[in-house]
Each structure stands twice: as C-alpha cells, then as structure tokens.
A = this chain, B = another copy of it.
C-alpha cells in the first residue's frame, strides 16, 4: 500500500499541522497543507487525500464555525466525507527567537527584544507572561503563529521574538527561550479526522485512531463511541425539535453536544449538528442505525456523519 495522504489547514507549523503529524505515525503519512477548510474537504471528496484533520472546537473559544458549515454541507458537496476519529491537542505557546540570538537562553536574556510577532488570538492567551516581561514592547499581528516563527527565523535587522508552538519552532529552526507561557494550562483544541467512505484504501482503519495515544492515556479512556448526525426539522411544527432529540435517548444514545447553523434556505430555520455517545453493549447494538431510521420519520433531512472512538481521557478533559 502506498503512503497515506493526510491533509490539513496550513501553513506548515500550524496547530493543524501538529495535530495531523501527531495523529499519524511519523513517516507513515504524507502531510499535505491546504489553504482553506473547504479545500481540505474537497481533496477528500475527490480522493486526492485519504484523511483530513480539521479543528472543530476549542475548549475556551467554542465551536469553529467554518467547520460546522462544512458539516452542514448545504450544497451536498462532500457527501462521502465522514468522521472516523478525533484528536485532542493542548495548546502550548513558546517565546522564540532567531537561532543563536541569545546563546545564554532566557537566563541570560538582557531585555533587548524590541518587537513581538504572533496571531491576534495568542496575545490574549499569554497576557500574564507578556505583562510581566514585555510591557510596552511593540506587537505585530500576523496571520498565524507559524508565520510569526518564520518571520523571526529570518530576522536580521531588529530583535524580534515570536509566540508560537514548539512544533512551529522545530519547523522553522528557531530557538525557544521560554516554554508554556500561556495563561490557561488546559486550553485544548479538538480535531476531527475525516475520510472518504468510498475510499477502500482506508476502509480497514475505520473507527480506529490511526496513531493511538500513549498507554497511560489509554487506561483512563472511557470505551465510548461518538456519533455525529445532522438534521433539519419542520419549524412550523411545534415540538419537532424535541421529538427529534427524544429519539437519541430512546435508543440509548447520550446527547453530548448540539450546534446550530442557519439553513440558508429560509431565515430562522436551522441545521442541527448533534453529537452523541454510547458505550457499546449488546443492548445498544445497531442503535445508531435505528435512531437514524426513526429520525428520518420526523426530520426533513437527516445525515449520518460517522462514528468513531472517544479519545477524551482524564488527562485532556
């Protein structure tokens, strides 16, 4: 079998790149950056990629709306794309500089950095550290933390530093001065791993996390399966949404999250994106199929977006 092709939102060194690299065994996959989420989904639909690793939710900021819109798939562009796994990435930020700028490291730092680079969201995530050590220092917004690392890696005229991940530092060959400068130690992004269900190359990997977490994580994992389903209901019919949600409970599927996006067919009508979980047992065998059958009776449209193994462990919960 040829090497797996795994696609993600670039640039190289992005958190998506890191999640893709950590989800698949090093060296076993070709990692292919894309310029947008729709491009990653399109590559999968056209079977130009085997997997896509896409952020869907951050523990601090909530849902990634662009990803919800891809799941809603209003125009039916990605009808063969389904979720087959998930990956939790804890967001750690580092302060980094061009290689060799401070041979003594942070201990010997003389206060000479004059400019900081990072993505706008990262400033707020490192406020305590920045207030303590870099009060008043000029801040330059850039399009990604990885881009910030790239800029300082090529810096020659001024003393610049970037806030980015250790992964980005390795990609761009910068020196990390300080690690874990973020305010919240538990800021985590959940990525969904997608495949094309018609792709026979990856069929045998279905429901399996391509690269399993470490054994200590595994011990604390709840052996649950998660399922993603989207549906629309007739909004003029009172109780339609409640009736649809009742079906999950009736089949032993535990509702864990509900998101909504505008249908764009008519204002104030929504596509519901529901995630549910179950611990597989003899009683709930086939529960997802039965729930989908019932849902089709009470919904206007309804779609199964895949089932995969829970990877949320005590260490990232």
Chain B, residue nearest A184 (CB): B264
Most buried by B among A238, A243, A257: A238
B239 touches A254 (CB 8 A): yes
State in angstroms the CA–CA spacing of A83 and B241 once bound together: 23
Nearest 8 pairs between A and B by C-beta? A59-B267, A242-B249, A238-B254, A241-B255, A258-B258, A242-B255, A62-B262, A188-B267
Name the one of B186, B248, B266, B267 contacting A267, with C-beta atoms under 8 angstroms.
B186
List B contacts of A63 (CB < 8 A). 260
Complex formed: what's the CA distance from A254 to B242 in Å?
Answer: 8
Give A136-167 as 1s and 0s: 1 = Cβ < 8 Å from B's Cβ atoms: 00000000000000000000000000000000
A223 interface residue per 8 A CB criterion: no
Within 8 A of B (CB), among A260-317: 260-262, 264, 266-268, 270, 272, 312, 316-317
Chain B residues lying within 8 Å of A266, measured Cβ to Cβ, are 186, 317
Determine chain A's interface SS by DSSP, over half rule. mixed
- What are 7 A-B pairs at a CB distance below 8 A? A61-B262, A62-B260, A241-B258, A242-B255, A243-B249, A245-B245, A257-B270
Q: How far is the CB of A252 from chain B (nearest CB, A)?
A: 9
Q: A254-B238, A255-B242 are in contact. Are A264 and B60 (CB under 8 A)?
A: yes
| A214 contacts partner chain B, Cβ-Cβ < 8 Å | no
Q: Which of B58, B60, B186, B256 contacts A241 (CB 8 A)?
A: B256
Known A267-B188, A268-B59; judge A260-B257 contact (CB<8 A): yes
Q: Which residue of B lies closest to A253 (CB)?
A: B242
Q: Does A235 contact B (CB under 8 A)?
A: yes
Give me the interface of A with B, judged by CB distance under 8 Å: 58-63, 65, 186, 188, 190, 235, 238-239, 241-243, 245-246, 248-249, 254-262, 264, 266-268, 270, 272, 312, 316-317
Chain B residues contacting A312 (CB-CB under 8 Å) are 268
A60 to B74, CA, bound (A): 12
| Copies of this chain in its oligomeric complex | 2
| Min CB–CB distance A232 → chain B (angstroms) | 13
When the two chains form their complex, are residues B258 and A260 in contact, meaning their CB atoms are under 8 A apart? yes
The reply to whether A248 and B242 form a contact with Cβ atoms under 8 Å apart is yes
The smallest C-beta distance from A182 to any residue of chain B, in angstroms, reads: 14
CB of B261 within 8 A of CB of A235, answer: no
A242, A243, A245, A257: residue with the most chain B Cβ atoms closer than 10 Å? A242
Looking across the interface, which residue of chain B has its beta carbon closest to that of A65?
A: B62
Inter-subunit contact B239/A242 (CB<8 Å): no
- Closest residue of chain B to A190 (Cβ to Cβ) is B268
Check B62 against A267 for contact (C-beta < 8 Å).
no
Q: Which B residue sits closest to A243, measured CB to CB?
A: B249
Contacts of A238 in B (CB 8 A): 254
Q: Give bound CA distance, A3 to B273, whole Å.
A: 45
Q: Closest approach, in angstroms, between the C-beta of A108 and any C-beta of chain B?
A: 36
Closest chain B residue to A312 by CB distance?
Answer: B268
Decide: B317 and A262 in contact? CB cutoff 8 A. no
**Closest CB in chain B relative to A55 CB, distance in Å:** 14
